[in-house]
Chain A
Amino acid sequence: MEDADILFGIYCPPHPQPLLSPEASDGYAKLRQAYDTCRERIENSDADLIIVYSTTWPSIIGHQIQAHPEPEWVHVDDDFHYLGSMPYKFKMDVDFAECLRDSAKERGLHSRTIAYEGFPIDTGSVVALKLLNPDNRIPACIVSSNMYANRAETIVLGKSIRDALAKQGKKAIAVVVSSLSNRMFTEHIDPTEDRIHSPKDDEWNRKILEFFADGRLEDLSQLSREIHGQIRVQKVVAYKPAWWMAATMGQHNNYQGEVLAYEALHGSGGAVVTLTPSSGSFGDKEFDEDDVEYYHGDRDVLDKGML
């Protein structure tokens, strides 16, 4: 299989404040600005496709792929309905959705496309697509997050996305919609007083962002279970976004990372991050091999720090 072409990846939060009330706090405005920066970068890229993996679209019957050519509705968030409605009309790459379904099946996954008028596209996908691709200049593909899937399935799902991209020769932007720490305040708050729920959540978020900034996506993928245990409210079995993103983007640590914003969203950790595949940083990460195909002897990492 020839290599898939992911131009860059974006990690962004699912809550609607950056879309519906960016003016309500400096933090929300910064997140919005970061989204706008990503939007411009997408506009300036020659991407054929935006692929969205949203943690707010759970599925049960395998992996669902949105395949309505122009899904249109007015979405309202379950918690933040008072911030307003989110009318949307998106353009989906149906060809790609069908190819992805077949690619996923070839890798042993149960998957299906769905194309129904009025299907409820989730808050995270609506927020991301409205902010990142407001004029539908580039068609999109949205994949669900299966409730029962764990590491193996999620990584294989990412690989099947690479298969589909390679088959169709398309250049894509990979978008993960997920909070970092996901504990929100359980009461209504003044947006100007929004902050990360706890210092522990904040410390972990910052550690994750260090990894992102260093381009260490595969390392984050390896840390996923630890992250889930430490700062994820256990709504689902695992913290899957890092697995999906790493698998979709090639399972290595060789990216140019950029943290565009990190702010609280009703207590949860909201970050907008980009990761661009690079060739410059190969082998300079703590846990990164020089070459995963051939063994070139010990790297003597322990010696290097010695006096």
Chain B
Amino acid sequence: MPKGEIVLGCLAPHPPHVVYAENPDQNEPVSEGGWETLRWGYNRLARKLKTIDYDALVIFTPHWQTYIGTHFLGLPEFKSKSVDPVFPNIFRYNYDIKVDVELSEIMREKASEHGIITKMMRNQDFRVDYGTITSCHMLNPDWDKPIVTISSNRNAHYYSAEVMNEQAAALGRACAEAIEESGKKVVLISSHSLSHRHFVTESPLPEDMSREHIYNHSQYVWDMKLVDLMREGKMRELIDILPEFTEQTIAETEAGGLTWMMSAMGFPQYSAEIYGYQSVIGTGNLVAAWDPNAVTREIVL
């Protein structure tokens, strides 16, 4: 069997607003659009994904929070409705998700071998989190590939952002080994915003773009610092300053997703593809991708 490989890594933020703005059949609320810069970037990345040969999407989500180890989805299908607990007015999504349980199990096993506390999630009533659904919908609206969701162990809360970084990196290495052994071609998804300070009020029409802007300028400056490092292909440096970034912008990187993905991909020293940056209810959101294939790698924006 040929070795498996990671064929693409995607930074895919999951404010439910972007799904709401797309008006897919699966989502009950209806919008007049909004957040185009982000959505059009997502649409373009989704088109690129269509040109790539892959078997499964593996997603690390901040909205399946576990304190006792790292958990993996462990049943072949989940079909239910996801209602966002924070923005239920804009996200009530009927989903039908296929899971690559085989890949999930290999990753769990490898993680466990590396000393990481793990658990398979095999309760059929479990609701898949809205982070997974939003990021996967935007990247693959046809839902024609199986996924694996990995929970985010909240090491940052229990120890520190530095410990989180170390543990997420260890999980990334374990997942990369598992993917290699599986023989599968896998797309990784790190599902989160960058800076993460929200407005605590919402305009009557959530998609009223005249109200949308970053929460404050220092959040923006930090976000741009990260974008610059991504363009320069300095992912090791970026991950090194991530604890400080996370603390200063209360960033959603606190969950460990970006560290996990970059570690699994060996801390790329090539430029990231930048697809779009926009604020959503004050938070900073970037769509970006890391393409290990120098032939297909692009300068997008």
Distance to closest chain B CB from A157 (angstroms) = 13
A119→B119 CA distance, assembly (Å): 26
Judging by beta carbons under 8 Å apart, are A116 and B83 in contact? yes
Distance to closest chain B CB from A138 (angstroms) = 25
Question: B40 within 8 Å of A by Cβ?
Answer: no
Question: B183 within 8 Å of A by Cβ?
Answer: no
Question: A223 within 8 Å of B by Cβ?
Answer: no
Binds B, one of A4-12, A178-186, A201-209, A285-293: A178-186
Nearest neighbor of B197 in chain A, beta-carbon distance:
A148
Judging by beta carbons under 8 Å apart, are B85 and A122 in contact? yes
Judging by beta carbons under 8 Å apart, are A61 and B68 in contact? no
Distance to closest chain A CB from B132 (angstroms) = 13
Question: B293 within 8 Å of A by Cβ?
Answer: no
| Residues in B59-99 with C-beta less than 8 Å from chain A | 64-69, 71, 80-83, 85-89, 92
Judging by beta carbons under 8 Å apart, are A114 and B68 in contact? no
A116→B82 CA distance, assembly (Å): 11
- Tell which of B64, B89, B125, B201 touches A78, judged by Cβ atoms closer than 8 Å: B64
Question: A224 within 8 Å of B by Cβ?
Answer: no
| Residues in B104-123 with C-beta less than 8 Å from chain A | 117, 119, 121-123
A60→B88 CA distance, assembly (Å): 12
Judging by beta carbons under 8 Å apart, are A76 and B126 in contact? yes
Judging by beta carbons under 8 Å apart, are A186 and B68 in contact? yes
Judging by beta carbons under 8 Å apart, are B67 and A186 in contact? yes
- Tell which of B71, B83, B158, B200 touches A186, judged by Cβ atoms closer than 8 Å: B158
* Chief secondary structure at chain B's binding surface: loop
Judging by beta carbons under 8 Å apart, are A61 and B117 in contact? no
Judging by beta carbons under 8 Å apart, are A185 and B122 in contact? no
Judging by beta carbons under 8 Å apart, are B68 and A188 in contact? yes
Distance to closest chain A CB from B282 (angstroms) = 10
Given known pairs A57-B85, A76-B123, A78-B151, the reply for A188 and B69 (CB within 8 Å) is yes
A117 neighbours in B (Cβ, 8 Å): 81, 83, 92
Nearest neighbor of A74 in chain B, beta-carbon distance:
B125
Judging by beta carbons under 8 Å apart, are A76 and B92 in contact? no
A146 neighbours in B (Cβ, 8 Å): 200
Question: B198 within 8 Å of A by Cβ?
Answer: yes
A60 neighbours in B (Cβ, 8 Å): 86, 198, 200, 281
Question: B154 within 8 Å of A by Cβ?
Answer: yes
- Tell which of A82, A118, A185 touches B83, judged by Cβ atoms closer than 8 Å: A118
Question: B48 within 8 Å of A by Cβ?
Answer: no
Judging by beta carbons under 8 Å apart, are B67 and A110 in contact? no
| Residues in B205-235 with C-beta less than 8 Å from chain A | none
Distance to closest chain B CB from A188 (angstroms) = 6
Given known pairs A81-B121, A119-B88, A120-B127, the reply for A61 and B158 (CB within 8 Å) is no
Judging by beta carbons under 8 Å apart, are B68 and A62 in contact? no
Given known pairs A233-B157, A235-B154, the reply for A79 and B83 (CB within 8 Å) is no
A60→B202 CA distance, assembly (Å): 10
* Chief secondary structure at chain A's binding surface: loop
Judging by beta carbons under 8 Å apart, are B68 and A266 in contact? yes
A235→B66 CA distance, assembly (Å): 12
Nearest neighbor of A119 in chain B, beta-carbon distance:
B83
Given known pairs A116-B83, A188-B69, A266-B68, the reply for A81 and B88 (CB within 8 Å) is no
Judging by beta carbons under 8 Å apart, are B81 and A234 in contact? no
A84→B85 CA distance, assembly (Å): 21
Nearest neighbor of A62 in chain B, beta-carbon distance:
B200
Question: A300 within 8 Å of B by Cβ?
Answer: no
B200 neighbours in A (Cβ, 8 Å): 60-62, 110, 146, 148
Nearest neighbor of A114 in chain B, beta-carbon distance:
B88
B198 neighbours in A (Cβ, 8 Å): 60, 148
Question: A59 within 8 Å of B by Cβ?
Answer: yes
- Tell which of A58, A79, A110, A116 touches B88, judged by Cβ atoms closer than 8 Å: A116
Question: A187 within 8 Å of B by Cβ?
Answer: yes
Question: A85 within 8 Å of B by Cβ?
Answer: yes
B86 neighbours in A (Cβ, 8 Å): 58-61
A76 neighbours in B (Cβ, 8 Å): 123, 125-127
A266→B117 CA distance, assembly (Å): 15
Judging by beta carbons under 8 Å apart, are A187 and B83 in contact? no
B117 neighbours in A (Cβ, 8 Å): 186-188
A148 neighbours in B (Cβ, 8 Å): 198, 200
Judging by beta carbons under 8 Å apart, are A110 and B201 in contact? yes
B201 neighbours in A (Cβ, 8 Å): 61-62, 110
A43→B151 CA distance, assembly (Å): 40
A204→B68 CA distance, assembly (Å): 23
Top 8 A-B pairs, shortest CB-CB distance: A85-B125, A81-B123, A76-B126, A118-B81, A74-B125, A118-B83, A116-B88, A119-B83
26 pairs, CB–CB < 8 Å, chain A vs chain B = A57-B85, A58-B85, A60-B200, A61-B200, A61-B202, A74-B125, A76-B126, A76-B127, A78-B66, A78-B151, A82-B119, A110-B201, A114-B88, A116-B83, A116-B88, A117-B83, A118-B82, A118-B83, A122-B85, A186-B153, A186-B158, A233-B157, A233-B158, A234-B157, A235-B154, A235-B157
Q: A60-B281, A187-B69 are in contact. List 17 more A-B contacts (CB 8 A).
A: A58-B86, A59-B85, A61-B200, A75-B125, A76-B125, A76-B126, A76-B127, A78-B64, A79-B67, A114-B89, A117-B92, A119-B88, A146-B200, A148-B200, A233-B158, A235-B157, A266-B68
